[in-house]
Amino acid sequence: MQEIPQLLLHNRAWAAEQLADDPDFFRRRLDGQKPAFLWIGCSDSRVQPDHFTQAAPGGLFVHRNIANLVRHDDANLMAVLEFAVMTLGVNDIVICGHYGCGGIAASLGSLPEGPVGHWLEHVVDVINLHRHAVDSISDPEERVNRLVEINVRDQLLHLAQTSTVQAAFAAGRPLTLHGWVYDLRDGLIKPLLDIDADTALEEVGAPERVLL
């Protein structure tokens, strides 16, 4: 339990440091938020988008779940999406997976019982849609990483098909959806594809392999 007091101690030290550098730091946080991006990413504790993008506080509106899935029946994500686009006016949405994703790897084997297994059934759907591409890769690590890329592509299409995004496109909003993968080995983001109002969704193919 030593970790809990340590977290609180670090929080107090951080707050004091911010005030020492900028006495108005926290007061400005009370003025509201105007993020530039909605970030949909994986819950993996090693993947912290505000750190590796150096986003300032208020710059990212963030939703995270295992394997960065976009499900139309996920009321949490749908509420985040609607609020970000319709209320905050966000015009850029990122779906960011990461190489070496444990959720993606688990989906290639026997799913566990319970909520995690149920959630990962949606990754199995992606596998089944792209069975040939996945099975054609013999190396287990390469297979996982290729599925990470394919999963980002499919989730970006799911996002584009939501009523919120379609309404924004129909209204002429300059909304763009970005599919990225974060590489844990070098800390770099690898862009895969973009979708906007002019994209023919039925013509979006599998992304080029980025990690070779």
Active site residues: 42, 44, 46, 98, 101
User: 69: which residues sit within 8 A by CB, 6+ positions away?
Assistant: 119, 122, 123, 151, 155
- Retrieve residue 109's tokens: 């084997």
Is residue 209 within 8 A of residue 149, CB to CB? The reply is yes
- Retrieve residue 165's tokens: 């995004």
Residues belonging to the chain: 212
Is residue 207 within 8 A of residue 186, CB to CB? The reply is no
